[in-house]
Amino acid sequence: MPPFSLGFRLLTGALIFSGVIVLFELWTVFFEWKFSTPYWPEYHREKYSLRVVTMIATTLLLTSSLASYIVAWYCHREKT
């Protein structure tokens, strides 16, 4: 089991936070796509491009947090 140091707690918090953001963005994009009008005006395109950038950034944060968590767990396991 990994140590419950400050870094471990921060990584776990970042992992949970970014996962929640990604799920929220996917949920809202899905429902807006499902129940929106069939045409895509210019303001929709701008709004979705901002959402895509947000989802990419949070996915990168999620991936890096998960990788750091796995490395910390593996290094702690090797010590014991």
Spatial CB neighbours of 22, under 8 Å, sequence gap ≥ 6: 55, 58, 59, 62
Residues in the chain: 80
Measured between its terminal Cα atoms, the distance across the chain in Å is 10
CA dist 52 to 24, 41, 64, 79, Å?
12, 17, 18, 41
| Cα–Cα distance measured from residue 65 to residue 18, given in angstroms and rounded to the nearest whole number | 9
**Average pLDDT, stretch 3-20?**
73
**pLDDT tens column, 23-73:** 777 777 777 666 665 555 555 566 667 777 777 777 787 787 777 777 777
- Put simply, whether the predicted model's pTM sits higher than 0.85 gets the answer no
